[in-house]
Structure 1
Amino acid sequence: MPKYFRLFAIGLAAILLVNFPAIAQKKPRQIILILADDLGWKDVGFNGSRYYHTPILDSLAAKSLVFSRAYANASNCAPSRACLMSGAYSARHGVYTVSPPDRGDARTRKLVPSPNEEFLSSDFKTLGKVFQEAGFKTAAMGKWHIGDDPTKQGFDVHKGGGRAGHPKTYFSPYSLKYLSDGPEGEYLTDRVTQESIGFMQENRNEDFFLYIPHFAIHGPLQGKQDLVEKYKKLPPQDGQGANADYAAMVRNLDQNVGKVLEAVKRLGLQDPLIIFSSDNGGIASQSRQWPLRGGKGSYYEGGIRVPLLVNHSGIGAGVSDVPTLLFDLFPTLCDWAKVPIPATQAIDGVSFLNVWKGKTQSDLNERPLYFHFPFYLEAYRGALDDSRDDLFRTRPGSVVIQNNWKLHHYYEDDAYELYDLENDPGERIDLATLEPEKLNGLTALLNHWLTAVDAPVPTQSNTAYEPGFIPAKKKARK
């Protein structure tokens, strides 16, 4: 071998030896986003529940950044998920509620509700699409609900229900469009986790975005029998414990988070980013969120405040009281993974990466949070829903939160409610008449936003409306 060639080969080998460890040690970017369904803010131990047992989540929370004031963008399933996946308010994409928008007896509705989009348009790039275009492997395992097939909206793999808002049953056979039935009696939450772990194993050395939107704990309320029997023996606590199946589903969900964490270790995943949250508040009549008022379908705190934790070695453990909306995850995840935010659509969420890293960002405390719902959601159980009236969990209206003050505006009677969340998180003391300056300031802020995003406001009278009409109570199911 010529001398100069020998020297070149030795030099090249030295360069490779020096640089190969750095190349080999480059960690893949891996994100695991677990989203529960209808799990209330206080349905977990780390937010104060003394009834539900969530030891896995509580242990994870102790090692994570927990947001005490995390909000879903809507108080029911589809709009919350559409906002999360698009990074935008409902006014941008038109998904405001789970259709139909005219719930309840027509004789009790004073206004004609605004139009509603059932699904998220393919014109919007979902989080899955953004990561897919950046070369990540992407999967949506469980409940999609904002379109028919997430593999047409940015996900390489979908094992779940497509457009289905809930399963017919939690025990196989499931009859879900995009999930084959398992052995008879197999439990759906376990199966979704099993499919998720399979994806993790297959892509353990790749960049991936794994979205696990569980069906649990949405109805039908069906828990595993051994857990159901356990909770039947436990006395209720703080308004929680009305339904043993509900409690059993919470515990099983917690156990399945544990299975994911165990798989992370077993598969040798290199420090994935793990996020856990819920799509809206819990159902008030099933599980009180005290001191928060109301539950799913309501725009009181119990309907929109949700558990949220973020776990990664680069994120210090602790509790943040900076208010955040779930769609803030869109730009934050893009920033964390160094993936470009799409320039083709409006992104209303803001990046919380500095907050995740423990840095102060005072402007986020000042940021107004908006909620707009120009529709009707009928009551589940009347007064037990802890809503504004016994017929509806909410009527058409809008909400703005800023600096611990919260303003509700209801369109049927042009009524305003004003609450000081710092001193009254349960929204029991209406200060609208006592704080006119604050009322006027927040009203102007809300109206400005509604105009800026061209949000539809219902004004047309409903000809079927009968003032004072009270529908007969439905007979209780046996």
Structure 2
Amino acid sequence: MARYISDFGLVTMRKFIGILCALFFVGCEQDVKPTKNVLFILVDDFGYNDLSFRGSKFYETPNIDALAKESTIFNEGYANSRVCSPSRASIMTGKFTARHGITDWIGAPTGAEWRKRNRFNQLLPPEYVRQLPSEDITLAEALKEQGYTTFFAGKWHLGGEGSWPDDHGFEYNVGGWDSGSPKGGFFAPYNNPKLKNGQPGENLSMRLAKETVAFMKDQKEQPFFAFLSFYAVHAPIQTTQEKWNKYRNKAAANGLAASGYGMEAVLPIRQVQDNPIYGGLVESMDDAVGHVLRSLEELGLDKNTMVVFTSDNGGVASGDNYATSNLPLRGGKGYQFEGGIKEPYLIKIPWLDNQVVETNVPVTAADLYPTILDAVEVELMPSQHQDGMSLLPLMGGLPTKERSLIWHYPHYGNQGGQPSSIIRKGKWKLIHYYEDGRNELYDLERDISEKNNISEENLELTKVLYEELMDFLNGVDAKFPEKDPLYDAAKERVYLERMATEKRKALEQQRLEILEPNFQPNEDWWGSQTTKD
């Protein structure tokens, strides 16, 4: 037996004994557990209200809607950051961003380098960890150790070469590398060193879905962990002429708003869902989700595969491509408000008895690590997933203890968000701003749009939450921004005025141009992005 295990290192003693039991019928069949697989679907920049089942009258997501009907819907599900890399690191580690140290998207400038963005801000953002820490045991590594075959497809953005998916527990890596956006766009050729090109015009989302299905088909007789991480619906937003035409007609039928943009503190922000290019991109992603879910059934894997579906941050309403509106949630990607961090959050566990339909208990993506381990009956690792908790009891209808959730983003978002940290406890949400040290307090049960700052009416509660927030941040050695000695308030005012006038006017004009019946961005439509901030 020792020789067998040595020759076949991936076969653990436990699996070997299970094989003997099955072959020789020695009466220990009760110890052989059925295979339990995990399929994790992560969408990039996908907003809480970018779904039909969430009430969108513009986007069509029938396949995700169907998954929602079979899942627990977490109405208060959150990403762990308002931008991508920190959120993804929290999924992989089970830790809040301040603890693992990746607090901004990898590649974002810090310190004096931030001045080159010409935003003329008061603060200089601090340095942050620029690759997934090797000392962490990732979710993939934890499952691989238990005999799971691990697969990754799509966007990674957790470090350069040497810190790619295959360096952190994934045995297969299709398309995951440094880049946070699809360098070649959403149609082949992809300009991706980890993804072979298909025929010109092949859709990236569907290609990643097909790669995932091929893996699951090949591994169907043994436990697997498949992580499908779409580059969609990140910029550049692109679609086909057919889908643009469909959503352009739908926008017209819904009635075009006279104005598409309002203003946040820094940048214009989209107020309506009527971008036909983005609508087509969303539908293509949903088509790819449908392909994977149908294939699970066709392969006979739907009854023993746990499915997780979520996003890494809010929909892009400012900056980037100004693609969608998150209303009634305030803000979007890059913002400290609910639109920046609240996400679609679905979990389907076919073997879980009495799985609840929905819950309003606040949860974060850091909870997915222990939840997955618990669901497939792997021992939890509390020293690793320190800020996550298993959601299995909650999904089974049991009460949970109230806890505090923490977000830390001491940076300026490309989309107009401000350096700040957040604590949510129960219905209360406190935002602490680093420019002027002020606190905002919101009652999310009464004020989902965060219009009414009630900190002055609740001074004691504000003080308690702020102190708890800072105790946590200081306890994990969080990094904070510093005052910029070259800050020029006059230059900042000029910049803000230009955004409120010239930029907003240009965006309103562009919105109407995209909705014109004769709009055509280029010959093949594959490069149909709208704008870059």
Q: Same fold (TM over 0.5)?
A: yes
Report the counterpart of residue 89 of structure 1 in structure 2.
Answer: 96
User: Aligned in 2, Cα 1:418/1:129: closer, same or farther, shift over 3 Å?
Assistant: same
Report the counterpart of residue 167 of structure 2 in structure 1.
Answer: 152
What's the CA shift for 1:16? 5.4
User: Aligned in 2, Cα 1:326/1:343: closer, same or farther, shift over 3 Å?
Assistant: closer
Report the counterpart of residue 414 of structure 2 in structure 1.
Answer: 378
Report the counterpart of residue 349 of structure 1 in structure 2.
Answer: 388
SS at match of 1:378: coil
Partners of 2:370 and 2:381 within 8 A in 1:
no
Partners of 2:304 and 2:351 within 8 A in 1:
no
The structure 1 residue matched to 2:182, chosen from 149, 160, 167, is 167
Provide the C-alpha distance between the structure 1 equivalents of 2:384 and 2:308, rounded to a whole number of angstroms. 24
Provide the C-alpha distance between the structure 2 equivalents of 1:325 and 1:94, rounded to a whole number of angstroms. 17
Report the counterpart of residue 51 of structure 1 in structure 2.
Answer: 58
Provide the C-alpha distance between the structure 1 equivalents of 2:221 and 2:61, rounded to a whole number of angstroms. 30
SS at match of 1:46: coil
> Can you list the C-alpha shifts for 1:33-61, whole angstroms capped at 9, x where unaligned?
00000000000122221211111111221
SS at match of 1:328: helix
> Can you list the C-alpha shifts for 1:161-193, whole angstroms capped at 9, x where unaligned?
311101121111101111000111100001000
The structure 1 residue matched to 2:469, chosen from 446, 449, 453, is 446
Spell out the pairing of 1:219-238 with structure 2 (5 A cutoff).
219-235=235-251
Provide the C-alpha distance between the structure 2 equivalents of 1:346 and 1:21, rounded to a whole number of angstroms. 33
Partners of 1:419 and 1:431 within 8 A in 2:
yes
The structure 2 residue matched to 1:249, chosen from 258, 281, 303, is 281
Partners of 2:369 and 2:385 within 8 A in 1:
no
> Can you list the C-alpha shifts for 1:333-385, whole angstroms capped at 9, x where unaligned?
11112223446646211111111222222x0xx21111111111134xxxxxx
Amino acid at match of 2:342: R
> Can you list the C-alpha shifts for 1:288-340, whole angstroms capped at 9, x where unaligned?
11211000000100000000111122342511101000010011111112223
Report the counterpart of residue 443 of structure 2 in structure 1.
Answer: 420
Report the counterpart of residue 336 of structure 2 in structure 1.
Answer: 299
User: Aligned in 2, Cα 1:288/1:211: closer, same or farther, shift over 3 Å?
Assistant: same
Provide the C-alpha distance between the structure 2 equivalents of 1:142 and 1:207, rounded to a whole number of angstroms. 21
Amino acid at match of 2:230: H
SS at match of 1:108: coil
Spell out the pairing of 1:95-110 with structure 2 (5 A cutoff).
95-98=102-105, 99-102=107-110, 103=114, 105=117, 108-110=120-122
SS at match of 2:211: helix
Report the counterpart of residue 369 of structure 2 in structure 1.
Answer: 330
Q: TM-score scaled to structure 1, two decimals?
A: 0.89
What's the CA shift for 1:229? 1.5
Amino acid at match of 1:461: K
Report the counterpart of residue 261 of structure 1 in structure 2.
Answer: 293
Partners of 1:369 and 1:402 within 8 A in 2:
yes
Does structure 1 residue 276 correspond to structure 2 residue 283?
A: no
Amino acid at match of 1:367: R
SS at match of 1:145: coil
Partners of 1:101 and 1:116 within 8 A in 2:
no
Report the counterpart of residue 6 of structure 1 in structure 2.
Answer: none
Amino acid at match of 1:438: L
What's the CA shift for 1:118? 2.0
Partners of 2:153 and 2:229 within 8 A in 1:
yes
Provide the C-alpha distance between the structure 1 equivalents of 2:426 and 2:28, rounded to a whole number of angstroms. 51
Q: TM-score scaled to structure 2, two decimals?
A: 0.80
Partners of 1:161 and 1:167 within 8 A in 2:
no
Partners of 1:51 and 1:240 within 8 A in 2:
no
Amino acid at match of 2:309: F
> Can you list the C-alpha shifts for 1:99-135, whole angstroms capped at 9, x where unaligned?
3244574562212211112221222121111111111
Partners of 2:175 and 2:195 within 8 A in 1:
yes
What's the CA shift for 1:17? 6.2
> Can you list the C-alpha shifts for 1:78-107, whole angstroms capped at 9, x where unaligned?
111011111111222211111324457456
Report the counterpart of residue 142 of structure 1 in structure 2.
Answer: 154
The alignment of Structure 1 onto Structure 2 pairs a total of residues equal to 449
SS at match of 1:109: coil
Amino acid at match of 1:301: E
Provide the C-alpha distance between the structure 2 equivalents of 1:282 and 1:141, rounded to a whole number of angstroms. 22
Report the counterpart of residue 468 of structure 1 in structure 2.
Answer: 490
RMSD: 2.4
Provide the C-alpha distance between the structure 2 equivalents of 1:66 and 1:15, rounded to a whole number of angstroms. 41
Identical pairs, percent: 36
State which drifts further: 39-48 or 241-250.
241-250
Partners of 2:442 and 2:452 within 8 A in 1:
yes
Provide the C-alpha distance between the structure 2 equivalents of 1:275 and 1:343, rounded to a whole number of angstroms. 21
Provide the C-alpha distance between the structure 2 equivalents of 1:400 and 1:265, rounded to a whole number of angstroms. 41
Provide the C-alpha distance between the structure 2 equivalents of 1:15 and 1:275, rounded to a whole number of angstroms. 34
What residue ranges of structure 2 are gaps of 5+ in the alignment? 1-20, 258-270, 507-530
Provide the C-alpha distance between the structure 2 equivalents of 1:438 and 1:22, rounded to a whole number of angstroms. 53
Provide the C-alpha distance between the structure 2 equivalents of 1:14 and 1:357, rounded to a whole number of angstroms. 32
Provide the C-alpha distance between the structure 1 equivalents of 2:393 and 2:119, rounded to a whole number of angstroms. 50
SS at match of 2:455: coil
Partners of 2:77 and 2:362 within 8 A in 1:
yes
SS at match of 2:42: strand
> Can you list the C-alpha shifts for 1:180-218, whole angstroms capped at 9, x where unaligned?
001111000010001000000000111111111110100
What residue ranges of structure 1 are gaps of 5+ in the alignment? 1-12, 380-392
